[in-house]
Amino acid sequence: MDSKSLLEGSKLWVVEARIQLKSSLKDPEGETILRDLLHKRGVSGVEEVRTAKLLRFKVRSHSREDAESLIRKVCDELRLYNPVSHTCSVRVGEEV
């Protein structure tokens, strides 16, 4: 089977991986944004700021599940994050 027919019937999915520091760890960037920007400029009501990185993949595959598991695998096996300090959650968005 050539690659063309393999892709037949496949769709393009948006999959997002969110990589963030474990919640038990200090997030210095979030702290600075809160303390040196929001608080100093008089913004009240915000109690915490945490930062994360988002990777947005466009994945061609036959199903939502395939798209999600491919990205899950990529994140874990290609070490897009370090599990010692970070967590990574993956979810599929709408079909493009």
Judged by the rule CB under 8 A, the positions of this chain that interact with its own copies are 12, 18, 20, 30, 33, 37-38, 41, 43, 45-61, 67, 70-71, 74, 78, 80
Joined tokens for residue 93: 């968005």
Binds another protein by CB under 8 A, chosen from 10, 11, 33, 66: 33
Task: Please tell me whether residue 23 binds another protein under the rule CB under 8 A.
Answer: yes
Name the nearest CA neighbour of 13 among 69, 88, 54, 68. Answer: 68
x/- letters, 49..78, toward another protein (CB under 8 A): -----------------------------x
Contacts from 79-85 at CB under 8 Å and sequence distance 24+? Answer: 80/17, 80/19, 80/55, 81/19, 85/21, 85/22, 85/25
Name the residue nearer to its own copies (CB basis): 29 or 84: 29
